[in-house]
Amino acid sequence: MDLLIAELVEGFSSFLWPFTRISALLLAAPLFSLQAVSIRIRIVLALTLTWVIYPSVDWPVIDPLSAEGIEAVFVQALIGASAGLILQIINAALVVGGQSITASMGLGMANMIDPNLGNVPVLSQFFVICSTLIFLALGGHLMLIKLLLISFTTMPIGAELDIIELSQQLIRWSIMIFYGALLIALPIIIALLFFNMGLGVVTRASPALNIFAIGFPAMIIGGLLVTFIAMPAIVQRIETMWLAAFDQVSQLLRIQ
């Protein structure tokens, strides 16, 4: 009886390490962290992935209640959450880009409450939905799971983690929030700028026209038209950003 209890405790302690890393990733990664994916679904998915990979790796025996065990739990949670955060930066870039376009169009008052991103403009919500569909079309969920499972070989349980290097990598990658937003919004904002200059010329030529009655609807219609025309290029740039994010996750997990 004592031998059986000892084997159960040893199995639980070794099962805890991959489960912690996978659970942290599912809590932070796009798609899996959506409000529609409940906590129960994430737990079942994390248990399933852990159960699949558990027999293929030799797990170290570490007491979870010891100082080394507590450190290992923290490290595994940090690795999984960092990988998910790298991918979430892409959605943040789309939100910032959508906010810039919305402000230029005059749709700043038309916001939608999103339980995942907060109070964001409708255009940002549209970009995030398109980004999620592109993520699924690229097989991003499968790529992410594959990278995570490979990471148990490249970053084994109990290996040292340079937190300073990890923080620097996340800070450098956070530039993508503004760079990605610039890639998405700059062509549309420039087009709206020329459109606004044209309205200014028309108003100067005919002062009797009410700029508030004509300019706002014209800017909204023109902005939506330019956005529609630019959608193929926007989709291509979102795809490029996702691929760059997966390359960054591979570097984080030391997968060459």
Q: What's the angle, vertex CA 226, arms to CA 177 and CA 239, rounded to 5? A: 40
The number of beta carbons lying within 10 Å of the beta carbon of residue 184 is 25
Give the range among 43-47, 179-183, 185-189, 240-244 with minimum mean pLDDT: 43-47
Q: Which residue has the tokens 């291509």?
A: 236
Phi, psi of 241 (to 5 degrees): -65, -40
Locate tokens 């508030």: which residue? 212
Give me the pLDDT at residue 62, please: 72
- pLDDT of 52: 81
Percent of the chain exceeding pLDDT 90 equals: 3
Show the domain range for 51: 2-252
pLDDT of residue 9 exceeding 80: no
Q: What was the pLDDT predicted at 125?
A: 83
* Tally: H helices and E strands in the chain: 8, 2
Amino acid, res. 41: I
Could you give the number of structural domains in the chain?
1
Residue 196 burial by CB count (10 A; 0-12/13-18/19+): exposed, middle or buried? middle
Residue 242, pLDDT score: 92
Specify the higher pLDDT residue, 42 or 112.
42
**207-244 tens-digit pLDDT:** 766 666 677 777 888 888 888 888 899 999 999 999 99
CA dist 26 and 30 (Å) reads 8
Q: What is the pLDDT of residues 95-149, one digit of tens each?
A: 888 888 888 787 765 565 555 555 667 788 888 889 888 988 888 888 888 888 8
Q: Is a pLDDT exceeding 80 seen at residue 6?
A: no
* Three-state secondary structure call for residue 92: helix
